[in-house]
Amino acid sequence: MKKKYFGTDGIRGKVNQNKINGEMFFKFGLAAGRYFTNLKKKKQTAIIAKDTRLSGYSLEPALVSGLASAGMHVYTLGPLPTNGLAMLTKMFKANMGIMITASHNPYFDNGLKLFGPDGLKLSDNIEKKIEKLIDKKTELLLSKYNLLGRVKRLETATDTYINILKKNFPKKFNLQNMRIVIDCANGAGYKSAPKLIKSLGAEVITLGNKPNGLNINEKCGSTFPKKIQLAVKKNNADIGISLDGDADRVIMCDERGKIIDGDQIIAALSLRWKKKKILRGGVVGTLMSNYGLEKFFKSQDIKFSRADVGDRYVKELMQKKNYNLGGEQSGHIILGKFATTGDGLLVALEALFAIRKGIKASKFFNVFKKTPQILENVNYKNEKILKSNSLLRSISNAKKIIKGKGRVLVRKSGTEPKIRIMAESENIELIKKCILMIKKEVK
């Protein structure tokens, strides 16, 4: 059964439209709270963090009200990376963690990501059960007046998260004599990212650390890596690190200003982990992972599997296969040895740990040749177009002409009204031809 509210990565959309408004967030909080209180465990606690969007000021109180009305005690953490929330949810043994964010989307979008007590994103099955409660009459879900939840603000969340990250590395680990550019996307990591890197002794050039509620992801962060490229060259830095709005993604650039995407980061870390005998089983990528990455794993005798797009699906396949490394080209990378979900800052730390003794970033990350790949995101107005005979026929024809020479993948975005068209081949003109064939049919 298709989900009504949840997409591939929680709930997301434009603020004050449809499902992203105060009324709906109250209902989400009430329904999610009631689901967990119905389990009748002794401790009924929810933890909430958010990114820096202006809409967080109106949506968070509504969500908190819904949770407390269902009888859940609530701790609010303020701006914190998504994996920081997941880690604290697990640490405090809370029933649920909720991140208010629209990740890499513009400020006028917002949404929710829900985590269970194990720090993992809620399963499709649980999300469907919560959805059923959302549509019930409010009065049927409210707690008795003497069983309402209490709400408390925790001011120590950032320091707690930083300490958890640092404990994954030796006490002597430091980044002295390194100059690092970090772009926080004016988002959830604007406090924790520079504070952590500075605490390890590095000289830090910080970008995107002045959020005003409207500038999250605006010409900055992982979707705009040009900013770290320019800053690395200007400041003669050793590496550039770029997070997204909720800091669960990371894109980097080396000392020469060359962009390092998620596939290249995964390849470099997998090779290091294999040599250090840390890698367990193999690596999980997605349908979007570059074919060159797949060939690299084959050459290194590393098992590789593709999951559906979305870090929750990467994690599910990692669990199924008992692998401890996986991720996406976009920079969602899960270090299963340390975390339950993507964490841009943690991945950056792991890379920095690898090059801390003077290894050039350009050498560490240059381990495989990418197959030329083009991805285009095309807006659509009517979902029916995605099932139209003309579009399906154009996709089929594109796959026929590229067969044996490359790959075509077309999918609907789980978070935006867009169709994502990807083609890869050594033949650039063939890629362009395939994408154009499909793009023409999207209206």
Which residues does the annotation mark as catalytic? 103
Position 344: which residue type? G
Output the CA–CA distances (angstroms, integers) from residue 5 to 23, 262, 401, in the order listed. Answer: 14, 29, 38
Position 428: which residue type? I
Instruction: State residue 135 phi and psi, 5-degree precision.
Output: -85, 5
425 vs 405: CA distance, rounded Å: 6
Position 89: which residue type? T
Output the CA–CA distances (angstroms, integers) from residue 27 to 8, 108, 238, 255, 380, in the order listed. Answer: 20, 21, 48, 48, 29
Output the CA–CA distances (angstroms, integers) from residue 137 to 30, 58, 181, 405, in the order listed. Answer: 11, 23, 51, 55
Angle between helices 56-69 and 22-37 (to 10 degrees): 30
**Quick one: which of 351, 355, 361, 300 has its CA closest to 327?**
351
**Helix (H), strand (E) at residue 229:** helix 226-235
